[in-house]
Amino acid sequence: MGSFIQNQILGMQWLKTLIGKMLSAAGFDIENRFGGSLHFFLYDVIKITILLFVLIFLISYIQSYFPPERSRKILSHCKGFSARIIAALLGTVTSFCSCSSIPLFMGFTTAGLPLGVTFSFLISSPMVDFASLILLTSIFGSKIAIAYVVLGLVVAVTGGTIIEHLHMEDQVADFIRNGKSVSLVEEKISQKQRLVSALHSVSDTLKKVFPYILLSVAVGAIIHNWIPEDWIVSLLGRKNPLGVILAVFAGIPMYADIFGCISISESLLAKGALLGVVLSFMMAVTTLSLPSLIMLKKAIKTKLLVTFVSICVAGIILVGYFFNAFQALFL
């Protein structure tokens, strides 16, 4: 049953077979480079779009029960290490884009929540959301997906703990540190309003990320069918012990969520890249995208920004080497 769910429901192997038969019937040879690339592109675009629609609808519906004011109240009742754990867990049911997480981080900080708590949330929100668990399960299997989420939460809680103990409150922008938090009255929302709002979120998200999905899948198709396997192995395989570090710094300048980099990661793994290299690349893209860092620079000062990036980079690299070392247990 587990294999059926992973392969046929989440992985949609039936869709891959169907598209292959349709292309063959149309006269394409899916065994050659061009036909194989077209097969990969159509299958991944349709599969990711379907998953995106379903997951964003579910996430948006769940988020309707955790508006910023309710999340702030939940966190305000927790203290110390437990508060950072709750913040990291709350990050998994909120916005999956790093740029969308920053306004919430600013609001929580203005409300007076401890800096370590708000940074645990900021790290967790884009890195280990519900979408990543389902999408990674569909591509890599449940063991890898669960380990990825657990280690991501560890990075988030550890990062928040380090920042908390560094006492860097003075490194928050003055307009946030001295701002006044406004308590909002939580509106009661009907089930119909929740469903309509979730559908709107799906539409808005698709408009924003679909071009990146097309680009990502196109790159994945090129890697999958045109790049020699020896190149990938020599650069990102066991022959290069610095592959994880290279993947992290290659991922930072990119702007994408997990939907926008999953096809590239899938193709790299199929071509011989190590598992830790692929997952650390995904973590870097989703957590440390350059646009989000530019936005974050408006909210915190340089010293704290460098500390945040350094903690995330170190944590992601350690996660990457962990998956490399124990790859045989997961694949």
Report the percentage of the chain scoring pLDDT > 70: 93
Nearest to 283 by CA among 308, 310, 261, 307: 261
- The pLDDT value recorded for residue 102 is 81
Instruction: State whether residue 239 is helix, strand or coil.
Output: coil
Q: Which residues contact 157 (CB under 8 A, 6 or more apart)?
A: 81, 84, 85, 88, 120
Tokens 């997990």 identify what position? 258
- The pLDDT value recorded for residue 99 is 62
- The pLDDT value recorded for residue 273 is 92
Q: What are the Cα distances from residue 239, in Å, to 90, 207, 244? A: 39, 40, 12
Q: For residue 244, give both structure tokens.
A: 């994880």
- The pLDDT value recorded for residue 179 is 62
Please state the rounded mean pLDDT for residues 293-302: 88
Q: What is the pLDDT of residues 30-60, one digit of tens each?
A: 989 899 999 999 999 999 889 888 888 887 8
Largest CA distance in the chain: 67
DSSP 306-327: HHHHHHHHHHHHHHHHHHHHTH
Q: Is the per-residue pLDDT at 180 higher than 60?
A: no
- The pLDDT value recorded for residue 248 is 92
Q: What is the pLDDT of residues 62-104, one digit of tens each?
A: 877 777 677 777 777 777 888 899 989 888 876 556 666 787 7
- The pLDDT value recorded for residue 325 is 93
Q: How far apart are CA 126 and CA 292, in angstroms?
A: 11
- The pLDDT value recorded for residue 227 is 84
Please state the rounded mean pLDDT for residues 302-316: 95
- The pLDDT value recorded for residue 135 is 82
Q: For residue 312, give both structure tokens.
A: 């995330």
Average pLDDT across the chain, whole number: 85
Instruction: State whether residue 300 is helix, strand or coil.
Output: strand
Q: For residue 104, give both structure tokens.
A: 């919430």
- The pLDDT value recorded for residue 238 is 83
DSSP letter for 291, please. Answer: H
Domain borders along the chain are: 2-181+209-330
Q: Which residues contact 237 (CB under 8 A, 6 or more apart)?
A: 243, 272, 273, 274, 277
Q: Is the per-residue pLDDT at 183 higher than 70?
A: no
Q: Is the per-residue pLDDT at 188 higher than 80?
A: no
More confident residue, 320 or 265: 320
Q: Which residues contact 132 (CB under 8 A, 6 or more apart)?
A: 96, 145, 148, 149, 152, 258, 286
pTM: 0.83
Q: How far apart are CA 295 and CA 113, in angstroms?
A: 20
- The pLDDT value recorded for residue 181 is 52
- The pLDDT value recorded for residue 96 is 53
More confident residue, 206 or 155: 155
Contacts 24+ apart (CB under 8 A), 205-209: 205/52, 205/56, 206/49, 206/52, 206/53, 206/56, 209/52, 209/256, 209/257, 209/259, 209/260
How buried is residue 139: exposed, middle or buried, by Cβ count under 10 Å (0-12/13-18/19+)?
A: buried
